[in-house]
Structure 1
Amino acid sequence: MSDCIFCKIANGQIPSTSIYEDDKVKVIFDISPATLGHALVLPKSHAANVFEIDDELLAHAHIVAKKVATALKEATGCKGVNILQNNGEVAGQSVFHLHIHVIPRYDDDDAHIKWTPGTQDTEKLAEIAEKVKAVL
Structure 2
Amino acid sequence: MDDCVFCRIVRGELPASKVYEDEHTLAFLNIMAGSPGHTLVIAKPHRENIYTLEDELAEAVMRTTTRVAKAVRQAAGCEGVTLFQANEVAGGQTVFHFHLHVLPRTPGDSLPGVWPATAPTRTEMDEMAERLRAAL
Q: TM-score range by the shorter chain?
A: over 0.9
Q: Say if 1:129 and 1:108 are closer, same or farther in 2 by CA, change over 3 A.
A: closer
Q: Which digits, 9 at most, give the CA deviation of each residue in 1:4-29, with x for residues without a partner? A: 11111123221111111111111110
Q: 23-32 or 118-127, which moves further after superposition?
A: 118-127
Q: Is this contact kept in 2: 1:73–1:80, CA < 8 A?
A: yes
Paired residue secondary structure (1:42) = strand
5+ long unaligned stretches in structure 2: none
Q: How far 1:116 moved relative to its partner?
A: 2.0
Q: Which digits, 9 at most, give the CA deviation of each residue in 1:14-52, with x for residues without a partner? A: 111111111111111000011111000011101111100
Partner residue in 2 for 1:77: 77
Give the Cα–Cα distance (whole angstroms) in 1 for the partners of residues 35 and 105 of structure 2. Answer: 7
Q: How far 1:84 moved relative to its partner?
A: 2.0
Paired residue secondary structure (1:128) = helix
Give the Cα–Cα distance (whole angstroms) in 1 for the partners of residues 11 and 56 of structure 2. Answer: 19
Matched, 1:34 2:22: no
State the number of aligned residues.
136
Runs of 4+ in 1 over 4 A off after TM superposition: none
Q: 9-18 or 93-102, which moves further after superposition?
A: 9-18
Give the Cα–Cα distance (whole angstroms) in 1 for the partners of residues 134 and 115 of structure 2. Answer: 30
Partner residue in 1 for 2:24: 24
Q: How far 1:113 moved relative to its partner?
A: 3.5
Q: How far 1:112 moved relative to its partner?
A: 0.7
Letter in 1 for 2:102: V
Give the Cα–Cα distance (whole angstroms) in 2 for the partners of residues 108 and 50 of structure 1. Answer: 31
Partner residue in 1 for 2:95: 95
Q: 124-133 or 81-90, which moves further after superposition?
A: 124-133
Paired residue secondary structure (1:51) = helix
Q: How far 1:92 moved relative to its partner?
A: 1.3
Letter in 1 for 2:75: A
Give the Cα–Cα distance (whole angstroms) in 2 for the partners of residues 54 and 113 of structure 1. Answer: 30
Give the Cα–Cα distance (whole angstroms) in 1 for the partners of residues 128 and 117 of structure 2. Answer: 19
Q: Cα RMSD (Å) of the superposition?
A: 1.3
Partner residue in 2 for 1:56: 56
Partner residue in 1 for 2:47: 47
